Structure 1
Amino acid sequence: MDTNARSGCHQQIVTIDDIFFSYENKTVIDGLSFSVLERDFVGLVGSNGAGKTTLLKMIVGLLKPTRGEIRLFGEPVGSFRDWERIGYVPQKNALNPLFPATVREVVTSGLFNKKSMFRRLTAAQRSKCDDALYAMRIEDLADRRIGQLSGGQQQRVFLARALVNNPELLILDEPTVGIDAETQGAFFRMIRHMHEHHHITFIMVSHDMDMLQSYIGSEPKQRRGGLSFYVKHTHAPENCGETDLVHSMHQLRETVEVLT
């Protein structure tokens, strides 16, 4: 696919330029190029072992490609420093159950970068954390250790962490695994609203193809190896009057009466 033809005047949020990744002499990703544009919603689909999670980890700097380059907002990942612009929800099995942090500490960590992580929280930051806890219905778990929670509860904590800093790019690796069907539907409605009415770009891996394709379509824009990229771009005629995500997250709380 000609990504330049699709880009026009839109900012490239993620640029993947001819990347390769090998693990234990096995090539996982082979010569992948792709651009994610401002306000794209990219659904990343592939079989187990196709490299979906590997690609997401390279985008957020947790892994380095064997060859090629990834840029975030035009900056090479290796020198990128504005990580508060990005929210990331890893797979739930990425959590060490012995990690000795409380729910509040995990959510609050989404507000920090390397420069600010040892600074005292401001009143505005505490308010953001409280809003995220409330919206995800985990305020009563705030002082519990993350490893003591169920899988669904842990996912809500990581969703709150990813949303707390009003990111420009949200990267979600199967974010609804372990969450009941009703809440999955509410979550998809929330992120659809966020995509249509906020200046947010999404990259998401999801096992729920029916839910995902109902929004982004059934035909991929690009296939490479075992990976398929489904893309929906939005230019909503009206953006919300609110510029933060608090009211969107509150929609989730209001939609779902009970989370399991």
Structure 2
Amino acid sequence: MQQSTDPVDVRCHQPVVSMENVSFLYEQRSVIEKLNFQVLQRDFVGLIGSNGAGKTTLLRMIVGLLKPTGGEIRLFGTPLTQFRDWERIGYVPQKNAFNPLFPATVREVVLSGLYGRKKLFRRIGQPDLKKCEDALHAMRIEELADRRIGQLSGGQQQRVFLARALVNNPELLILDEPTVGIDSETQESFFHMIRHMHQRHNITFLMVSHDIEMMHAYLGYEPAHTNGKLKFYVKHTHELENCAETNLVHSLRDLRLGGPEPAAAR
């Protein structure tokens, strides 16, 4: 959201998500009305609002799961209706959106984050498997790789979905209550990792979280924008020496969720 007059760092201020007069009606009730907002490259945007404010609805519109009833959304400058480069986006939906009977192993779920439409019918190669192993390692779930996703605890499942979102080294990471069901120690480690990723890598974040204190601690207490009950908190980083960094391998390996396996995630 911040604007810069310095032409040197303009590359860090390109629009990633643009919303123009975006509205959404549910059963004739206005959930979001004429939202105008831009998420810029290397922004960290935290969405806070009461139940029914439209937080999850907005994220689902951005990833194409819901269609706005009015206005236009653009991703990386392309109208959402024409956008095809979904591999540039990582998305972790709310945990309750998952069907626990889905018949896939942890490794298969994480690898599915690499498929995308362009790779749907291509064979997974060794570089892809290496990315998968790195993501599994980062989330401390490598020993669960061959287990069925439905056999895992809630905390373990959420780690799997985080690994799936990170495996393709996304430019935009969209997180909808990503730490629900994860113990407080692991939540803190997760926030530490994504703060590092935001500060040192060319990744833009859009996140809804119930942990308001953690959000305020990083993003501040004054919203950059409001729309109805929705509040947008924004922190931008543009350290020039890091703007071109896209390799997540070292952060995935070195900033793995550490410490003994917490009981709540077993």
User: Same fold by TM-score, threshold 0.5 exceeded?
Assistant: yes
Residue type at the aligned position of 1:198:
H
Which residue matches 1:15? 18
Structure 1 residues 69 and 122, CA gap change in structure 2 (3 angstroms): same
Name 1:149's counterpart in structure 2: 152
CA offset at residue 59 of structure 1? 0.3
* Pairing 1:46-61 to 2, within 5 Å after superposition: 46-61=49-64
| Aligned residue in 2 for 1:101 | 104
The 10-residue stretch of structure 1 (13-22 or 243-252) with the greater mean CA deviation from structure 2? 243-252
- Quick check: 1:91–1:175 contact (8 Å CA) kept in 2? yes
Shift of 1:111: 0.5
From 147, 161, 165, give the equivalent of 2:164: 161
Question: Shift of residue 250 of structure 1?
Answer: 2.2
Q: Distance in 2 between matches of 1:240 and 1:183?
A: 28
* Matching residue within 6, 14, 23 for 2:3: 6
What residue in structure 2 maps to residue 78 of structure 1? 81
Q: CA RMSD in A?
A: 1.7
Deviation of the 1:245 alpha carbon: 1.3
2:114 counterpart SS class: coil
Aligned residue number for residue 182 of structure 1: 185
CA positional deviation for 1:253: 2.5
Whether the 8 Å contact between 2:18 and 2:77 is mirrored in structure 1 is: yes
Query: Structure 1 residues 156 and 45, CA, compared in 2 at 3 Å: closer, same or farther?
Result: same
Q: What residue identity is the alignment partner of 2:3?
A: R
Deviations 1:108-153 (A, max 9, x none): 0110111211211111001000111111111111111111111101
1: CA distance, partners of 2:58 / 2:132? 29
Paired amino acid for 1:6 = Q
Whole-angstrom CA distance in 2 between matches of 1:118 and 1:60: 22
Deviation at 1:58, TM superposition (A): 0.3
Is 2:200–2:245's contact at 8 Å kept on the other side of the alignment?
A: no
Matched residue type, 1:246: V
Deviation of residue 248 (structure 1)?
1.2
Given that 2:139 and 2:257 are in contact with CA atoms closer than 8 Å, whether structure 1 keeps it comes out as no
Structure 1 counterpart of 2:70: 67
TM-score by length of 1: 0.94
CA displacement at 1:247 relative to structure 2? 1.7
How many pairs were matched up?
A: 257
Query: Which residue of the partner structure matches residue 139 of structure 1?
Result: 142
Compute the displacement of 1:243 (Å). Answer: 3.8
Tell me the equivalent position of 2:208.
205
Structure-1 residue corresponding to 2:252: 249
| 1:196 corresponding residue in structure 2 | 199
* Distance of 2:203 and 2:257 partners within structure 1: 22
What secondary structure is seen at the aligned counterpart in 2 of 1:218? coil
Q: Any gaps of 5 or more consecutive residues in structure 1? A: none
Q: Counterpart of 2:31?
A: 28
Identical pairs, percent: 68
* TM-score (normalizing by structure 2): 0.92
Letter paired with 2:157: Q
Distance 2:257 2:163 in 1: 16
Over 3 Å counting, the alpha-carbon distance change for 1:228 and 1:241 in structure 2 is closer
| 1:40 corresponds to 2:9 | no
The one-letter amino acid of 1:173's match is D
Segments of 5+ residues of structure 2 without an aligned counterpart are none
Q: In structure 2, what residue type is equivalent to 1:25?
A: Q
Q: Contact 1:190/1:251 (CA < 8 Å) preserved in 2?
A: no
